[in-house]
A and B are shown apart, each in its own frame.
Chain A
Amino acid sequence: MASYSTSEFKGGLKLMMDGDPCSIIENEIVKPGKGQAFNRVKLRNLKTGRVIERTFKSGESLEAADVIELDMQYLYNDGEFFHFMHPESYDQYQADESAVADAKLWLKDQAMCILTLWNDAPISVTPPNFVELEIAETDPGLKGDTSGGGGKPATLETGAVVRVPLFVQIGEVVKVDTRTGDYVSRAKA
Protein backbone atom coordinates (compact mmCIF):
# COMPACT_ATOMS: atom_id res chain seq x y z
CA MET A 1 0.00 0.00 0.00
CA ALA A 2 1.26 3.49 -0.82
CA SER A 3 1.97 5.97 1.92
CA TYR A 4 2.26 9.73 2.19
CA SER A 5 4.90 11.69 4.09
CA THR A 6 3.86 14.83 6.00
CA SER A 7 5.50 16.95 3.31
CA GLU A 8 2.86 15.68 0.87
CA PHE A 9 -0.07 16.47 3.16
CA LYS A 10 -2.69 18.75 1.67
CA GLY A 11 -6.43 19.25 1.74
CA GLY A 12 -8.36 16.34 0.20
CA LEU A 13 -5.62 13.72 0.67
CA LYS A 14 -7.07 10.35 1.82
CA LEU A 15 -5.23 8.56 4.63
CA MET A 16 -5.72 5.68 7.03
CA MET A 17 -6.00 6.81 10.63
CA ASP A 18 -6.68 4.36 13.48
CA GLY A 19 -8.05 1.86 10.97
CA ASP A 20 -10.49 4.24 9.32
CA PRO A 21 -10.19 6.09 6.02
CA CYS A 22 -9.91 9.85 6.55
CA SER A 23 -9.65 12.91 4.36
CA ILE A 24 -7.41 15.88 5.23
CA ILE A 25 -9.38 19.09 5.71
CA GLU A 26 -6.53 21.30 6.86
CA ASN A 27 -2.79 20.87 7.34
CA GLU A 28 -0.73 23.42 9.24
CA ILE A 29 3.00 23.28 9.89
CA VAL A 30 3.81 24.26 13.44
CA LYS A 31 7.44 25.01 14.12
CA PRO A 32 8.31 26.56 17.43
CA GLY A 33 11.50 28.60 17.34
CA LYS A 34 14.31 26.42 16.19
CA GLY A 35 12.45 23.45 17.65
CA GLN A 36 10.81 20.46 16.14
CA ALA A 37 8.38 20.81 13.28
CA PHE A 38 4.94 19.29 13.65
CA ASN A 39 2.10 18.92 11.19
CA ARG A 40 -1.17 19.77 12.86
CA VAL A 41 -3.86 18.15 10.78
CA LYS A 42 -7.65 18.34 10.75
CA LEU A 43 -9.14 15.17 9.27
CA ARG A 44 -12.61 13.98 8.48
CA ASN A 45 -13.31 10.33 9.23
CA LEU A 46 -14.98 9.25 5.99
CA LYS A 47 -17.01 6.52 7.69
CA THR A 48 -18.46 8.52 10.56
CA GLY A 49 -18.10 12.07 9.19
CA ARG A 50 -16.51 13.11 12.46
CA VAL A 51 -13.73 15.69 12.39
CA ILE A 52 -10.60 14.93 14.41
CA GLU A 53 -7.40 16.85 15.08
CA ARG A 54 -4.09 15.05 15.11
CA THR A 55 -0.42 15.99 15.19
CA PHE A 56 2.47 14.32 13.37
CA LYS A 57 6.17 14.86 13.48
CA SER A 58 7.35 16.30 10.20
CA GLY A 59 8.78 13.46 8.16
CA GLU A 60 6.37 10.81 9.46
CA SER A 61 4.46 8.77 6.92
CA LEU A 62 0.88 7.56 6.91
CA GLU A 63 -0.69 4.80 4.90
CA ALA A 64 -2.77 6.02 1.98
CA ALA A 65 -6.45 5.10 2.01
CA ASP A 66 -7.78 3.45 -1.13
CA VAL A 67 -10.69 5.84 -1.44
CA ILE A 68 -12.34 7.04 -4.61
CA GLU A 69 -15.38 9.17 -5.25
CA LEU A 70 -17.58 8.22 -8.19
CA ASP A 71 -20.69 9.74 -9.73
CA MET A 72 -23.39 7.09 -9.52
CA GLN A 73 -27.04 6.72 -10.24
CA TYR A 74 -29.29 5.71 -7.34
CA LEU A 75 -31.47 2.76 -8.35
CA TYR A 76 -33.63 1.55 -5.48
CA ASN A 77 -33.79 0.48 -1.85
CA ASP A 78 -34.59 -3.20 -1.21
CA GLY A 79 -35.37 -2.61 2.44
CA GLU A 80 -31.87 -3.54 3.60
CA PHE A 81 -29.52 -2.10 0.99
CA PHE A 82 -29.48 0.91 -1.26
CA HIS A 83 -28.42 0.06 -4.81
CA PHE A 84 -26.38 2.28 -7.08
CA MET A 85 -25.06 1.94 -10.62
CA HIS A 86 -22.13 3.47 -12.42
CA PRO A 87 -23.64 5.19 -15.50
CA GLU A 88 -20.89 4.09 -17.87
CA SER A 89 -19.60 0.75 -16.64
CA TYR A 90 -23.04 -0.33 -15.32
CA ASP A 91 -21.21 -1.76 -12.28
CA GLN A 92 -23.61 -1.99 -9.39
CA TYR A 93 -22.85 -1.30 -5.74
CA GLN A 94 -24.94 -1.81 -2.64
CA ALA A 95 -24.60 0.46 0.37
CA ASP A 96 -25.98 -0.23 3.81
CA GLU A 97 -28.00 2.16 5.97
CA SER A 98 -24.95 3.44 7.87
CA ALA A 99 -23.12 4.38 4.67
CA VAL A 100 -26.12 6.17 3.20
CA ALA A 101 -27.02 7.83 6.52
CA ASP A 102 -28.80 11.18 6.09
CA ALA A 103 -28.30 11.15 2.32
CA LYS A 104 -31.33 8.84 2.06
CA LEU A 105 -33.56 11.84 2.81
CA TRP A 106 -32.62 13.30 -0.56
CA LEU A 107 -32.32 10.21 -2.77
CA LYS A 108 -34.89 9.83 -5.50
CA ASP A 109 -34.84 6.88 -7.89
CA GLN A 110 -32.57 7.51 -10.91
CA ALA A 111 -30.99 10.58 -9.24
CA MET A 112 -27.23 11.11 -9.50
CA CYS A 113 -25.08 11.32 -6.40
CA ILE A 114 -21.48 10.80 -5.31
CA LEU A 115 -20.56 7.44 -3.85
CA THR A 116 -17.37 7.23 -1.78
CA LEU A 117 -15.77 3.80 -2.09
CA TRP A 118 -13.15 2.47 0.31
CA ASN A 119 -11.47 -0.70 -0.90
CA ASP A 120 -14.26 -0.83 -3.47
CA ALA A 121 -17.06 -0.80 -0.86
CA PRO A 122 -19.39 2.19 -0.41
CA ILE A 123 -18.78 4.07 2.86
CA SER A 124 -20.69 7.26 2.23
CA VAL A 125 -23.13 8.88 -0.15
CA THR A 126 -23.21 12.56 -0.98
CA PRO A 127 -26.35 13.88 -2.68
CA PRO A 128 -26.05 16.75 -5.16
CA ASN A 129 -25.90 20.17 -3.44
CA PHE A 130 -29.33 20.98 -4.86
CA VAL A 131 -32.19 18.56 -5.48
CA GLU A 132 -35.68 19.06 -6.83
CA LEU A 133 -38.33 17.04 -5.05
CA GLU A 134 -42.12 16.91 -4.97
CA ILE A 135 -44.07 17.87 -1.88
CA ALA A 136 -45.98 14.86 -0.58
CA GLU A 137 -47.65 16.50 2.34
CA THR A 138 -48.11 19.96 3.81
CA ASP A 139 -50.87 22.01 5.42
CA PRO A 140 -52.78 24.17 2.97
CA GLY A 141 -51.40 27.69 3.10
CA LEU A 142 -53.41 30.80 3.86
CA LYS A 143 -55.23 32.14 0.84
CA GLY A 144 -53.58 35.10 -0.81
CA ASP A 145 -50.30 34.75 1.09
CA THR A 146 -47.51 35.20 -1.38
CA SER A 147 -45.04 36.86 0.93
CA GLY A 148 -43.15 33.71 1.79
CA GLY A 149 -42.73 34.92 5.35
CA GLY A 150 -43.30 32.56 8.26
CA GLY A 151 -43.38 29.23 6.49
CA LYS A 152 -44.64 25.77 7.36
CA PRO A 153 -43.22 22.23 7.42
CA ALA A 154 -43.58 20.12 4.28
CA THR A 155 -42.79 16.43 3.80
CA LEU A 156 -41.08 15.68 0.49
CA GLU A 157 -41.50 12.54 -1.63
CA THR A 158 -38.29 11.12 -0.14
CA GLY A 159 -39.42 11.65 3.45
CA ALA A 160 -37.33 14.74 4.22
CA VAL A 161 -39.12 17.50 6.08
CA VAL A 162 -38.23 21.08 5.10
CA ARG A 163 -39.67 24.48 5.93
CA VAL A 164 -41.37 25.99 2.92
CA PRO A 165 -43.24 29.27 2.36
CA LEU A 166 -46.97 29.21 3.08
CA PHE A 167 -47.94 29.47 -0.60
CA VAL A 168 -46.27 26.20 -1.62
CA GLN A 169 -48.75 23.35 -2.05
CA ILE A 170 -48.87 19.55 -2.23
CA GLY A 171 -47.75 18.24 -5.61
CA GLU A 172 -45.44 21.17 -6.33
CA VAL A 173 -41.74 20.53 -6.94
CA VAL A 174 -39.29 22.52 -4.84
CA LYS A 175 -35.54 23.06 -4.97
CA VAL A 176 -33.71 22.31 -1.71
CA ASP A 177 -30.10 22.80 -0.59
CA THR A 178 -29.09 19.36 0.75
CA ARG A 179 -26.13 20.76 2.74
CA THR A 180 -28.39 22.88 4.95
CA GLY A 181 -31.79 21.28 4.35
CA ASP A 182 -33.15 24.71 3.37
CA TYR A 183 -35.85 25.42 0.82
CA VAL A 184 -34.42 27.47 -2.07
CA SER A 185 -37.30 28.06 -4.49
CA ARG A 186 -40.10 26.46 -6.40
CA ALA A 187 -38.69 24.43 -9.26
CA LYS A 188 -39.20 26.01 -12.64
CA ALA A 189 -41.77 24.04 -14.57
Chain B
Amino acid sequence: MVYAWQPACSIELIRLRARVLHEIRLFFYAENVLEVETPILCHAIGTDPFLDFFSTAELTGKQPSLYLQTSPEFAMKRLLAAQTGSIYQITKAFRKGELGRLHNPEFSMLEWYRVGYDLRQLMDDAELLLGRLLPEEYFSEPATRLCYADVFQQYTGLNALQFDLECYQLVAEKRGLVDAIRLCADDHSSWLDFLFSHIVQQELVKYGICMIYDYPACLPSLARLNTDNPLTVARVEVFVNGIELANGYYELADPQQQRQRFEQEILIRERNGAERVQQDERFLAALQNGLPDCSGIAIGLDRLLMIISQKNHINEVLAFPVENA
Protein backbone atom coordinates (compact mmCIF):
# COMPACT_ATOMS: atom_id res chain seq x y z
CA MET B 1 0.00 0.00 0.00
CA VAL B 2 1.24 3.45 -0.92
CA TYR B 3 0.44 6.17 1.58
CA ALA B 4 -0.19 9.68 0.31
CA TRP B 5 1.82 11.71 2.81
CA GLN B 6 1.77 15.06 1.06
CA PRO B 7 -0.38 17.99 2.22
CA ALA B 8 -3.73 18.35 0.48
CA CYS B 9 -3.37 22.10 0.04
CA SER B 10 -0.65 24.03 -1.73
CA ILE B 11 2.35 25.51 0.10
CA GLU B 12 0.92 28.88 -0.93
CA LEU B 13 -2.15 28.18 1.22
CA ILE B 14 0.01 27.19 4.17
CA ARG B 15 1.78 30.56 3.83
CA LEU B 16 -1.54 32.37 3.50
CA ARG B 17 -2.74 30.77 6.74
CA ALA B 18 0.40 31.96 8.54
CA ARG B 19 -0.08 35.51 7.19
CA VAL B 20 -3.73 35.59 8.29
CA LEU B 21 -2.86 34.36 11.80
CA HIS B 22 -0.13 36.99 12.04
CA GLU B 23 -2.51 39.72 10.86
CA ILE B 24 -5.09 38.67 13.48
CA ARG B 25 -2.49 38.79 16.26
CA LEU B 26 -1.31 42.23 15.12
CA PHE B 27 -4.89 43.49 15.17
CA PHE B 28 -5.64 42.31 18.70
CA TYR B 29 -2.22 43.35 20.00
CA ALA B 30 -2.88 46.90 18.79
CA GLU B 31 -6.36 46.79 20.35
CA ASN B 32 -4.94 45.61 23.66
CA VAL B 33 -6.95 42.39 23.62
CA LEU B 34 -5.16 39.58 25.46
CA GLU B 35 -4.36 36.30 23.72
CA VAL B 36 -5.32 33.27 25.84
CA GLU B 37 -5.31 29.49 25.65
CA THR B 38 -7.96 27.21 27.12
CA PRO B 39 -8.08 23.41 27.16
CA ILE B 40 -9.43 21.46 24.22
CA LEU B 41 -9.91 18.42 26.45
CA CYS B 42 -12.50 19.22 29.17
CA HIS B 43 -14.76 17.52 31.69
CA ALA B 44 -17.91 19.16 30.31
CA ILE B 45 -19.27 19.97 26.89
CA GLY B 46 -21.88 22.28 25.39
CA THR B 47 -25.51 21.20 25.39
CA ASP B 48 -26.24 22.54 21.88
CA PRO B 49 -29.01 20.28 20.64
CA PHE B 50 -27.49 19.85 17.19
CA LEU B 51 -23.79 19.61 17.92
CA ASP B 52 -22.24 16.20 18.17
CA PHE B 53 -18.97 15.84 20.02
CA PHE B 54 -16.09 13.42 20.43
CA SER B 55 -15.60 11.94 23.85
CA THR B 56 -12.34 10.36 24.86
CA ALA B 57 -11.54 7.33 26.93
CA GLU B 58 -11.69 7.94 30.66
CA LEU B 59 -8.88 9.95 32.19
CA THR B 60 -7.76 7.42 34.77
CA GLY B 61 -9.46 4.47 36.42
CA LYS B 62 -13.03 5.33 37.37
CA GLN B 63 -13.03 8.94 36.19
CA PRO B 64 -15.62 9.92 33.60
CA SER B 65 -14.63 10.53 30.01
CA LEU B 66 -13.40 13.86 28.70
CA TYR B 67 -14.70 15.78 25.72
CA LEU B 68 -13.00 17.48 22.80
CA GLN B 69 -14.49 20.98 22.86
CA THR B 70 -17.00 22.05 20.21
CA SER B 71 -16.09 25.66 21.09
CA PRO B 72 -13.85 27.36 23.69
CA GLU B 73 -16.77 29.47 24.90
CA PHE B 74 -17.29 28.19 28.45
CA ALA B 75 -13.61 28.24 29.37
CA MET B 76 -13.14 31.72 27.92
CA LYS B 77 -16.10 33.02 29.91
CA ARG B 78 -14.54 31.56 33.06
CA LEU B 79 -11.50 33.69 32.29
CA LEU B 80 -13.69 36.75 31.71
CA ALA B 81 -15.40 36.13 35.06
CA ALA B 82 -11.91 36.15 36.60
CA GLN B 83 -11.47 39.72 35.28
CA THR B 84 -9.03 39.16 32.43
CA GLY B 85 -10.61 41.97 30.43
CA SER B 86 -11.08 41.50 26.66
CA ILE B 87 -9.54 38.28 25.36
CA TYR B 88 -9.09 36.32 22.12
CA GLN B 89 -8.05 32.82 21.24
CA ILE B 90 -7.03 30.95 18.10
CA THR B 91 -7.80 27.30 18.71
CA LYS B 92 -9.05 24.03 17.30
CA ALA B 93 -12.66 22.97 17.80
CA PHE B 94 -14.17 19.56 17.10
CA ARG B 95 -17.64 18.59 15.87
CA LYS B 96 -18.46 15.00 15.20
CA GLY B 97 -20.18 14.09 11.96
CA GLU B 98 -19.60 17.45 10.29
CA LEU B 99 -17.93 16.60 7.03
CA GLY B 100 -18.48 18.19 3.64
CA ARG B 101 -17.61 21.07 1.37
CA LEU B 102 -17.67 23.56 4.26
CA HIS B 103 -17.00 21.20 7.17
CA ASN B 104 -14.09 19.25 8.59
CA PRO B 105 -14.70 17.64 12.01
CA GLU B 106 -11.59 19.39 13.36
CA PHE B 107 -11.40 23.05 12.45
CA SER B 108 -9.66 26.28 13.37
CA MET B 109 -11.54 28.98 15.17
CA LEU B 110 -10.86 32.53 16.20
CA GLU B 111 -13.00 33.52 19.16
CA TRP B 112 -12.90 36.84 20.95
CA TYR B 113 -14.74 38.73 23.68
CA ARG B 114 -14.93 42.47 24.18
CA VAL B 115 -15.76 43.58 27.69
CA GLY B 116 -18.26 46.46 27.75
CA TYR B 117 -19.36 45.96 24.10
CA ASP B 118 -22.96 45.42 23.03
CA LEU B 119 -23.91 43.63 19.80
CA ARG B 120 -23.62 46.75 17.58
CA GLN B 121 -20.12 47.48 18.84
CA LEU B 122 -19.16 43.85 18.32
CA MET B 123 -20.40 44.04 14.72
CA ASP B 124 -18.26 47.16 14.15
CA ASP B 125 -15.30 45.29 15.63
CA ALA B 126 -15.81 42.24 13.42
CA GLU B 127 -16.15 44.47 10.37
CA LEU B 128 -12.89 46.22 11.23
CA LEU B 129 -11.00 42.94 11.59
CA LEU B 130 -12.51 41.37 8.45
CA GLY B 131 -11.56 44.57 6.60
CA ARG B 132 -7.94 43.72 7.38
CA LEU B 133 -8.24 40.09 6.32
CA LEU B 134 -10.55 39.93 3.31
CA PRO B 135 -9.67 41.25 -0.16
CA GLU B 136 -10.44 44.96 -0.64
CA GLU B 137 -13.35 44.42 -3.02
CA TYR B 138 -15.51 43.20 -0.13
CA PHE B 139 -15.22 46.58 1.51
CA SER B 140 -15.82 48.99 -1.35
CA GLU B 141 -18.73 49.96 0.89
CA PRO B 142 -19.63 49.12 4.49
CA ALA B 143 -20.93 45.58 5.17
CA THR B 144 -24.69 45.20 4.70
CA ARG B 145 -26.49 44.81 8.04
CA LEU B 146 -29.90 43.18 8.00
CA CYS B 147 -32.21 42.29 10.82
CA TYR B 148 -33.18 38.60 10.76
CA ALA B 149 -36.93 39.18 10.73
CA ASP B 150 -36.63 41.69 7.86
CA VAL B 151 -34.48 39.52 5.64
CA PHE B 152 -36.65 36.47 6.39
CA GLN B 153 -39.79 38.42 5.50
CA GLN B 154 -38.19 39.78 2.35
CA TYR B 155 -37.25 36.40 0.86
CA THR B 156 -39.92 34.08 2.24
CA GLY B 157 -42.80 36.47 2.90
CA LEU B 158 -43.09 34.93 6.37
CA ASN B 159 -43.01 36.39 9.86
CA ALA B 160 -40.01 34.79 11.57
CA LEU B 161 -41.08 35.91 15.02
CA GLN B 162 -44.64 34.62 14.93
CA PHE B 163 -45.01 30.98 13.98
CA ASP B 164 -47.95 30.20 11.72
CA LEU B 165 -47.60 26.57 10.66
CA GLU B 166 -50.06 26.79 7.76
CA CYS B 167 -48.31 29.81 6.22
CA TYR B 168 -44.93 28.16 6.62
CA GLN B 169 -46.18 24.94 4.98
CA LEU B 170 -47.67 26.91 2.11
CA VAL B 171 -44.36 28.61 1.37
CA ALA B 172 -42.52 25.27 1.50
CA GLU B 173 -44.98 23.81 -1.02
CA LYS B 174 -44.75 26.81 -3.30
CA ARG B 175 -40.96 26.64 -3.31
CA GLY B 176 -40.85 22.90 -3.98
CA LEU B 177 -39.40 22.23 -0.51
CA VAL B 178 -41.97 19.63 0.52
CA ASP B 179 -39.45 17.79 2.70
CA ALA B 180 -39.68 20.67 5.17
CA ILE B 181 -43.21 19.65 6.09
CA ARG B 182 -42.06 16.16 7.08
CA LEU B 183 -38.77 17.18 8.71
CA CYS B 184 -39.86 20.26 10.66
CA ALA B 185 -43.35 19.11 11.73
CA ASP B 186 -44.59 21.81 14.11
CA ASP B 187 -41.21 22.92 15.47
CA HIS B 188 -40.67 26.63 14.87
CA SER B 189 -36.88 26.61 15.17
CA SER B 190 -36.56 23.69 12.74
CA TRP B 191 -38.68 25.62 10.25
CA LEU B 192 -36.51 28.71 10.63
CA ASP B 193 -33.33 26.63 10.17
CA PHE B 194 -34.79 24.95 7.09
CA LEU B 195 -36.20 28.00 5.33
CA PHE B 196 -33.26 30.24 6.19
CA SER B 197 -30.71 27.76 4.85
CA HIS B 198 -32.72 26.74 1.77
CA ILE B 199 -34.16 30.09 0.72
CA VAL B 200 -32.60 33.09 2.45
CA GLN B 201 -28.96 32.08 2.57
CA GLN B 202 -28.49 31.86 -1.20
CA GLU B 203 -29.95 35.35 -1.55
CA LEU B 204 -27.19 36.64 0.72
CA VAL B 205 -24.56 35.82 -1.92
CA LYS B 206 -25.27 39.12 -3.67
CA TYR B 207 -24.35 41.23 -0.65
CA GLY B 208 -20.74 40.02 -0.57
CA ILE B 209 -20.33 40.51 3.15
CA CYS B 210 -23.43 40.88 5.29
CA MET B 211 -24.36 40.64 8.93
CA ILE B 212 -27.69 39.24 10.05
CA TYR B 213 -28.58 40.37 13.56
CA ASP B 214 -31.32 40.01 16.19
CA TYR B 215 -32.23 36.35 15.79
CA PRO B 216 -35.65 34.99 16.81
CA ALA B 217 -35.73 34.11 20.50
CA CYS B 218 -36.29 30.43 19.71
CA LEU B 219 -32.72 30.34 18.31
CA PRO B 220 -31.04 31.87 21.37
CA SER B 221 -27.94 29.77 22.01
CA LEU B 222 -25.97 31.90 24.50
CA ALA B 223 -27.27 35.31 23.46
CA ARG B 224 -29.22 37.58 25.79
CA LEU B 225 -32.78 38.63 25.06
CA ASN B 226 -33.20 42.06 23.51
CA THR B 227 -34.90 44.28 26.08
CA ASP B 228 -36.70 46.34 23.40
CA ASN B 229 -38.06 43.22 21.66
CA PRO B 230 -38.10 40.07 23.80
CA LEU B 231 -39.10 38.03 20.72
CA THR B 232 -35.49 38.42 19.58
CA VAL B 233 -32.03 37.79 20.98
CA ALA B 234 -28.86 39.82 20.52
CA ARG B 235 -27.15 37.40 18.16
CA VAL B 236 -25.32 38.10 14.90
CA GLU B 237 -24.13 35.89 12.08
CA VAL B 238 -21.72 37.05 9.40
CA PHE B 239 -22.14 35.71 5.87
CA VAL B 240 -19.63 36.15 3.06
CA ASN B 241 -20.84 35.11 -0.40
CA GLY B 242 -23.68 33.34 1.38
CA ILE B 243 -21.24 31.23 3.46
CA GLU B 244 -21.75 31.41 7.20
CA LEU B 245 -18.46 32.70 8.58
CA ALA B 246 -19.07 33.92 12.14
CA ASN B 247 -21.56 33.70 14.98
CA GLY B 248 -21.64 36.18 17.86
CA TYR B 249 -23.70 37.22 20.86
CA TYR B 250 -24.23 39.94 23.37
CA GLU B 251 -23.52 37.35 26.01
CA LEU B 252 -26.12 36.05 28.38
CA ALA B 253 -24.77 36.65 31.88
CA ASP B 254 -27.76 35.59 34.00
CA PRO B 255 -26.93 32.22 35.61
CA GLN B 256 -30.60 31.31 36.17
CA GLN B 257 -31.54 31.92 32.55
CA GLN B 258 -28.43 30.08 31.42
CA ARG B 259 -29.34 27.08 33.58
CA GLN B 260 -32.86 27.07 32.11
CA ARG B 261 -31.50 27.11 28.57
CA PHE B 262 -29.18 24.22 29.37
CA GLU B 263 -32.14 22.28 30.75
CA GLN B 264 -34.24 23.02 27.67
CA GLU B 265 -31.41 21.99 25.36
CA ILE B 266 -30.83 18.79 27.29
CA LEU B 267 -34.53 17.98 26.87
CA ILE B 268 -34.33 18.58 23.12
CA ARG B 269 -31.27 16.33 22.96
CA GLU B 270 -33.15 13.61 24.81
CA ARG B 271 -36.13 13.96 22.49
CA ASN B 272 -33.85 13.63 19.45
CA GLY B 273 -32.02 10.67 20.90
CA ALA B 274 -28.74 12.61 21.02
CA GLU B 275 -25.99 11.62 23.43
CA ARG B 276 -26.66 12.63 27.05
CA VAL B 277 -24.74 15.57 28.45
CA GLN B 278 -24.43 17.30 31.81
CA GLN B 279 -24.49 21.04 32.16
CA ASP B 280 -21.10 22.60 32.80
CA GLU B 281 -21.28 23.45 36.51
CA ARG B 282 -17.90 25.19 36.53
CA PHE B 283 -19.15 27.55 33.82
CA LEU B 284 -22.41 28.16 35.71
CA ALA B 285 -20.43 28.87 38.89
CA ALA B 286 -18.43 31.48 36.96
CA LEU B 287 -21.67 33.15 35.82
CA GLN B 288 -22.90 33.05 39.40
CA ASN B 289 -19.77 34.89 40.43
CA GLY B 290 -20.45 37.46 37.71
CA LEU B 291 -19.66 37.67 34.02
CA PRO B 292 -18.71 41.20 33.00
CA ASP B 293 -20.99 42.80 30.44
CA CYS B 294 -19.49 41.60 27.15
CA SER B 295 -20.02 40.47 23.58
CA GLY B 296 -18.18 37.66 21.84
CA ILE B 297 -17.91 36.17 18.38
CA ALA B 298 -16.22 33.23 16.68
CA ILE B 299 -14.94 33.06 13.10
CA GLY B 300 -14.29 29.83 11.23
CA LEU B 301 -10.73 30.37 10.03
CA ASP B 302 -10.70 27.60 7.42
CA ARG B 303 -13.75 29.11 5.74
CA LEU B 304 -12.14 32.54 5.92
CA LEU B 305 -9.13 31.09 4.07
CA MET B 306 -11.48 29.51 1.51
CA ILE B 307 -13.02 32.91 0.85
CA ILE B 308 -9.69 34.75 0.62
CA SER B 309 -8.18 32.15 -1.71
CA GLN B 310 -11.45 31.57 -3.63
CA LYS B 311 -11.47 27.83 -3.01
CA ASN B 312 -14.63 25.81 -3.26
CA HIS B 313 -13.88 23.01 -0.79
CA ILE B 314 -12.49 23.21 2.74
CA ASN B 315 -10.01 20.43 1.92
CA GLU B 316 -8.28 22.84 -0.45
CA VAL B 317 -7.16 25.03 2.46
CA LEU B 318 -6.26 22.27 4.94
CA ALA B 319 -2.83 20.69 5.03
CA PHE B 320 -4.29 17.41 6.22
CA PRO B 321 -8.08 17.09 6.01
CA VAL B 322 -9.54 14.37 8.20
CA GLU B 323 -9.44 11.83 5.35
CA ASN B 324 -5.64 11.84 5.37
CA ALA B 325 -4.91 13.29 8.81
Contacts and interface: CB of A to CB of B under 8 A. Distances in A.
Interface of A: 7, 27-38, 40, 53-58
A54 B182 CA distance: 12
B102 A29 contact: yes
Contacts, number: 67
Interface residues of B, number: 30
A35 B219 CA distance: 8
Interface string B173-185: 0001101100100
A38 B97 contact: no
B179 A55 contact: yes
Given A35-B189, A55-B180, A55-B183, A29 B237 contact: no
Contact of B100 (A29, A35, A55): A29
A38 B102 CA distance: 13
Given A30-B201, A38-B198, 17 more contacts: A28-B100, A28-B101, A31-B197, A32-B197, A33-B247, A35-B197, A36-B190, A36-B193, A36-B194, A37-B50, A37-B98, A38-B197, A54-B179, A55-B177, A55-B194, A56-B179, A57-B183
Contacts of B247: 33-34
Contacts of A53: 176
Contacts of B193: 32-33, 35-36, 38
Contacts of B198: 30, 38, 40, 55
A55 B184 CA distance: 11
Contacts of A30: 197-198, 201
Among B102, B176, B179, B183, residue most surrounded by chain A Cβ atoms (within 10 Å): B179
A26 to B, nearest CB: 10
Given A37-B50, A55-B194, A55-B198, A31 B183 contact: no
A41 to B, nearest CB: 10
Contacts of A57: 183
Among B190, B194, B196, residue most surrounded by chain A Cβ atoms (within 10 Å): B194
B244 interface: yes
B232 interface: no
Contacts of A55: 177, 179-180, 183, 194, 198
A58 B50 CA distance: 10
B101 A29 contact: yes
B99 interface: yes
A7 B219 CA distance: 25
B221 A34 contact: yes
21 contacts: A7-B99, A29-B102, A31-B98, A31-B102, A31-B103, A33-B219, A33-B237, A33-B244, A34-B51, A35-B189, A35-B197, A36-B190, A36-B194, A37-B50, A38-B183, A38-B194, A53-B176, A55-B177, A55-B179, A55-B183, A58-B97
A57 B177 CA distance: 13
A14 B233 CA distance: 43
Interface of B: 48, 50-51, 97-103, 176-177, 179-180, 183, 189-190, 192-194, 196-198, 201, 215, 219, 221, 237, 244, 247
A27 B100 CA distance: 9
A32 B201 contact: yes
Nearest to A35: B193
Contact of B50 (A7, A29, A36, A40): A36
A21 to B, nearest CB: 19
A109 to B, nearest CB: 43
A29 B51 CA distance: 14
Contacts of A38: 183, 193-194, 197-198
Contacts of B48: 34
Contacts of A37: 50, 97-98
* 5 shortest interchain CB distances as A-B pairs: A35-B193, A29-B100, A55-B179, A32-B197, A30-B197
Among A33, A40, A53, residue most surrounded by chain B Cβ atoms (within 10 Å): A33
Contacts of B51: 34
A32 B97 contact: no
A24 B280 CA distance: 41
Contacts of B201: 30, 32
Contacts of B221: 33-34
B197 A34 contact: no
A37 B52 CA distance: 11
A53 B193 CA distance: 18
A34 B197 CA distance: 12
Nearest to A32: B197
B207 to A, nearest CB: 17
Contacts of B97: 7, 37, 58
Nearest to B237: A33
Among B50, B176, B244, residue most surrounded by chain A Cβ atoms (within 10 Å): B50
